C-alpha cells in the first residue's frame, strides 16, 4: 500500500469507523451497566482500557507511517 493510500485509509477510518466504534462501545457499556449495574473499579478500569485501544489494533498497519 502506498503512503498516499495509507493516509486516505487513515482519514476514512478516523472519520467513519471511529464514531461508529464510539457509539458501539457506548452501547456495550450501557448494556453492561443496565444488566449488572456499575462494575467494581478493578473490573471497570480494564474494560475502559481495552475499549480505548481495541479500535486501532486491527488498523495499526494503516496508521504506521501515516504521521510522517
Domain limits, the chain: 3-61
**Whose CA is closest to 58, among 29, 22, 2, 17?**
17
Task: Answer yes or no: is pLDDT of 67 > 90.
Answer: no
User: How much is the average pLDDT of 20-24?
Assistant: 93
* pLDDT tens profile 31-62: 999 999 988 999 999 999 999 988 888 887 77
At 25 the pLDDT is 93
Locus of grid cell 471497570: 44
pLDDT band at 68 (very low <50, low <70, confident <90, very high): low
Over residues 25-30, the mean pLDDT reads 93
> What is the reported pTM?
0.73
Amino acid at each position: 500500500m502506498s503512503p498516499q493510500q495509507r493516509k486516505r485509509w487513515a482519514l476514512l477510518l478516523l472519520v467513519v469507523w471511529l464514531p461508529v466504534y464510539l457509539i458501539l462501545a457506548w452501547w456495550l457499556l450501557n448494556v453492561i451497566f443496565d444488566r449488572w449495574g456499575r462494575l467494581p473499579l478493578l473490573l471497570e478500569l480494564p474494560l475502559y482500557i481495552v475499549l480505548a485501544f481495541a479500535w486501532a489494533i486491527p488498523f495499526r498497519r494503516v496508521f504506521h507511517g501515516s504521521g510522517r
